[in-house]
Chain A
Amino acid sequence: MTEAILNSKTKSPLRALTVTRRGFLGGSLGALTLSIALPHGRVMAKAAPEAPQAADLNAFLEIRSDNSILFRSPFMEGGQGVHTALVQILAEELDADPAVFAVETAPAGPDYSLTGGMRITGGSGTVRSSYEALRRLGASARSMLIEAAASAQGLSAEALSTEPGRVIDSASGRSWTYGELAPAASALEAPETVSLRAREDFRWIRKPVARLDMHDKSTGKAVYGIDLTVENMLYAAIQHAPRYGAQPAAITNEADAAQMPGVHSIHPLPGAVAVLADSWWRARRAVEALDVEWRVPEDATGRVLPADFSSQARKAALESADDDGIAHELEGDAAAALADAAQVISAVYDAPYLAHAQLEPPSALARWNEDGTLDLWTPNQAPDFFRAAAASVAGIDAKQIRLHSPLLGGFFGRHFQYNESNPFPQAILLAKAAGRPVKVLWSREEEFLMDAMRPLSLARMSWGLDEQGMPVAFSAVAPGEGTVERWFGRAEDSADTSILEGIAGKTYAIANRRVAHLPIKDPAAIGFWRSVGHSANDFFYECFFDEMAAAGGHDPYELRLRLLEHSPRHKTLLEAVGALSGGWKSGPFTAQDGTERARGVAMASPFGSEVATIAEVSLADGEAIVHDIWVAIDPGSIVNPAIVEAQVNSAVALGLSATLVEGAVFESGAPQARNFDGYPILPPDRMPRVHVRIIESGEAMGGIGEPPLPGVPPAVVNAVAVLTGQRIRSLPLSKTELSRRVQ
């Protein structure tokens, strides 16, 4: 998700956050439960005389009598480590050991809108958007626990302090556990103001605290959406229309399929047919045996993928669109500067549709209850959006739906509300039709067919250089439809920044710039893919930057440093990655093992963070071998360096996968690859060593999950260009046979 969305959802309730108390029922017996009410931004304590209610438990934090602490996270865990990072922040101010925390994902609904507006886990925004609020929440709880001990002992609160999990009276050496104090604390007013710990006193924040989910995830105990069952449940397998927008007109062998083992019933659905059975394998067998006649209705109102749609034709259409588009970034006069330039170079770059290919295929489990309410379990990164969409499918009020958000078996932007690219509408309809709970699971083949992909992207760009070979003008037009436009719309005369991020918003000192979006609707299902527009655009810009450097006779690393002279933050970062890699190396060189290698460099400014990347590459058998990737990242400040390092590794792997091997090809209105045999992703033996340097500049906190990705493709492709002498302007590299430059 992009900055724009994140910011629009993140208004400023946190700044208004003050602390008060409102007593109400709910919560576990003897526990101190604390919540933040928005929009007033107040922390509240609640007395807890009763067992928890199933829905709308407005409590982020629950300190139990056994000293364990439950945190109900408004954000989803899908491997990014946010559940641990959020606990670290809370634990810091509460003064508790992160290891005593358990984390549950909070239910949908406004009670858990920690940052205001609809909840989204995305835009690399979780930690930075909730950092302040969680610290205050933790500090409020700590202050109430101290207060409880003070009044029970007849001491002044100032005389008491804490160590992890207990309030201590250092004068007498006595101490009381948080669990003991919780019942009394829950009856107190929450403090009006709290003071937060100084950075130099941090015990947990900025430390490589161990992740809370490691044992479960190493022993098969972690439960994902695909693993859930409820009593009396049927399994559903789906066959979707081979071409998007077609509908099932007839099933010619329905009677035969109905006789197959375990089959319960067969159902037409919008754009699909389903079989319900007593196991998923039996359902799948039967659904794949169905002979379905698919027809695109004359009066189809929804999206239809044209029968002649292909990714090649899409690329050609974007390439031939030569309008100037809607300018977004305008500085100086790029057209005039290009006209006056001593040298002009132009190029078109492109990158393909990409599947999310998260390893857990999509599933959804729906159960209609006797009271007319609906329970829905489905992987999601935006529970309020999902609940609203589910309500309209189910034809009931959103409040009648309990949406459960399981652990995600891979994130990458796949779990946004993409309508028919998600299985939950099918589960709701099938459970209604069968009168029994239904779990829908898409086979990997159906997932490749239905995924909302990273759009095929393209940019037409020009550089103008002066007599000294220095850049004086940059002009770029990105034709197409951005993902934000697809899911949130676009004001008529404005550009979609999600299609421009990474060719716009660069820091280099270029006096004249024009970056524009030329809107052309995309017929395919498109969605947010880790780092969104940056995933393609920084490749376009940073590789074309190297072309410009070469045209002007400059070393690409030195030229970047020169053009970042005005920005110490960026210059420091670029120097840091150079140093991390043992010093920048210009041109091809022979490594110790005798291979010919080269390095490429790239900068990116995604999601509030700054990143500099260097890749070291050699060639073998026509392919690029990536040996090392060095990443220097400045997210302003951090919470957990080990998680940052893991996320850098993860983003490097995905970025490298897109660079080397990935691309979804459409022909005749359908994606050609339907499983990993036709759509390769980065295998273990192509993973490079990854070296990370974190720089905390103290600037506003930026994101972590996405920012390390966009620099990888250009760093690798720039290195390849040094070896081959060939500028590759289209990904993935596997389309091109690479060979060493003839000397």
Chain B
Amino acid sequence: MDLKINGQTHRVEVEPDTPLLWVLRDTLGMTGTKYGCGVAQCGACTVLVDGVATRTCVLPVEAVAGSEITTIEAIESDPVGKRVVAAWIDKQAPQCGYCQSGQVMAATALLKEVPQPSDEDIAAAMTNLCRCGTYNAITAAVRQAAKA
């Protein structure tokens, strides 16, 4: 099966129902995308599929053959992603950092779709869990990236 990830095509030999998360992490060695729950609850595994924030732990890889997949590894090659990362650093958002790949991907997807999000837009898009409680810093960073 061919996958288009960060602008490159990768050929992978896996069962078609393997979640994209594990193809990224174990087959392709792209470990920036994290496993937190495996049941679409936490958002640690979020990537962009055709620009849409998508939880990959429950996404069969066969469903994304032909789609454009963007992972955290390429986030700074995207102008919106680069702005988001800069805002994340400026607001010193991460603590342990484990959820932050997913948070940055979710924020990037939001700002690509809604460049000037309202507080409600942010609340609706930023639903990933953070056990370290960085939520306020994340919201501040999203607002800043929107302004930048």
Contact = CB atoms under 8 A, between A and B. Distances in A.
Q: Secondary structure at chain B's binding surface: helix, strand, loop or mixed?
A: loop
A582 to B, nearest CB: 19
Contact of A361 (B36, B100, B134): B36
B31 A227 contact: yes
A218 B36 contact: no
B29 A220 contact: no
A111 to B, nearest CB: 27
Nearest to A441: B35
Contacts of B19: 281
A529 interface: no
Contacts, number: 170
A280 B35 CA distance: 11
Given A226-B34, A683-B127, A653 B132 contact: yes
A214 B96 contact: no
B66 interface: no
B118 interface: no
A407 B34 CA distance: 14
A15 interface: no
B42 interface: yes
B98 A235 contact: no
Interface residues of A, number: 62
B85 A215 contact: yes
Nearest to B86: A218
B26 A684 contact: no
Given A443-B38, A444-B37, A687 B133 contact: yes
Contacts of A685: 123, 127
Contacts of A677: 39, 41
B128 interface: yes
B69 interface: no
Q: Which of A213, A361, A441, A642 has the most CB of B within 10 A?
A: A361
B107 to A, nearest CB: 10
* Interface residue range, chain B: 35 or more
A81 B132 CA distance: 12
B39 A359 contact: no
B127 A409 contact: no
B89 A359 contact: no
Interface in B97-148: 97-101, 104, 123, 126-139
B7 to A, nearest CB: 16
Nearest to B19: A281
B92 interface: yes
A81 B94 CA distance: 10
B75 interface: yes
B126 A684 contact: yes
Contacts of B18: 281
Interface of A: 78-81, 210-211, 213-224, 226-227, 229, 235, 261, 279-282, 357-361, 407-412, 441, 443-445, 642, 646, 649-654, 657, 675-677, 681-685, 687, 689-690
Which 7 pairs show the lowest CB-CB distances between chains A and B? A220-B32, A653-B133, A217-B97, A79-B96, A409-B98, A220-B72, A79-B95
12 contacts: A79-B132, A211-B92, A213-B97, A217-B94, A219-B32, A219-B76, A220-B75, A224-B34, A235-B26, A280-B22, A409-B96, A676-B129
